Structure 1
Amino acid sequence: MFRIEAGVDRERRDLLRSRLRDTNTAASPVLAALRGSPAAHEVPLHVWALDESGDLAGGLVGHTWTSWLHVTYLWVDARHRGAGLGSRLLRRAERTARDRRDCAAVRLETWDFQAPEFYRGHGYEVVGVIPDYPPGLTEYTLVKRLR
């Protein structure tokens, strides 16, 4: 007999994540080899751009895990778009991931109205497309090799 519940429970979420990680590690020689190494843990990677008054002009939020950088957010304030700031933020994150964290690749997701062409222009390749996610939009998954 099972009781099914719905609701936010951070303690259970963390327990579930830990158990899933243990299951995946046991089944994967690659993940098992990483057990205990610093690369086995997600490490935040943030890059910030502040304007002359100290306000947030743009930023990139992501993390590194194993030998990958995952870019979660990249945003540039409208006042600063078109001046190369997004490119500078992306290049800094890639360089940090490659040179300081030994990452071999980057992955990210973007929607069709956001920046797929921006990322293609920086050497990213589309490896996944989800049409109508959410309805009326298309989501792209892109990757780039750093070495």
Structure 2
Amino acid sequence: MTTAISIVDQPSDDVRRAILAPLDVFSRERGFPFEPRTLALALLHDDHVVGGLVGQLNWDWLYIQILGVPTFLRGGGHGRALVEEAERRAVAAGCRGVWVDTFTFQSPGFYERLGYEKIGELPGYPGDQSRLFLRKLLTDR
């Protein structure tokens, strides 16, 4: 029997499931089944999707993976509205908090104004910038 490592340029859903399967088994054995659910909110302008929010609900937390608002709509409260709607849906799904990662050249101040606190930093990624990790607790449990 041979074991090898292979690069997969565009993993199919089946390949992704196969890669995640050992993690799920390991986590499930410890009482934490890996069952992420996608949360996607589209930002529409003239009936076209121009941005939005994509997140993942898992283990009582929402992870905001992507938040995109086009330049011509920035400053109009759309980013805030997307995050607040995601938070409402996270509470309804039983989540106790939200976490997000962003970069110093992107939007840490935006999240801080929404009540997020910095919980980690990866300096030097990319270049002389940092990747920041923030969270916001939604409930006291």
What is the alpha-carbon distance in structure 2 between the residues aligned to residue 135 and residue 4 of structure 1?
Answer: 33
Shift of 1:13: 4.4
TM-score (norm 1): 0.83
Matched residue, 2:7: 7
Task: Note the residue ranges of structure 1 that are not aligned, 5 or more in a row.
Answer: none
TM-score (norm 2): 0.86
Q: Which has the higher helix share?
A: 1
Instruction: Name the Cα RMSD after superposition.
Output: 1.9
Contact in 2 for aligned 1:47/1:61 (Cα 8 Å): yes
Task: Note the residue ranges of structure 2 that are not aligned, 5 or more in a row.
Answer: none
Identity of aligned residues (%): 31
Opposite residue 69 of structure 1, the aligned amino acid is L
Contact in 2 for aligned 1:58/1:85 (Cα 8 Å): no
- Is 1:43 aligned with 2:60? no
Give the 4+ runs in structure 1 shifted more than 3 A.
1-4, 9-13
Shift of 1:146: 0.7
Match of 1:88 among 81, 86, 90: 81
Opposite residue 56 of structure 1, the aligned amino acid is V
Shift of 1:55: 2.4
What do residues 65-118 of structure 1 show as CA deviations (whole Å, max 9, x unaligned)?
12111100001010000111100000000001102x111100111011111010
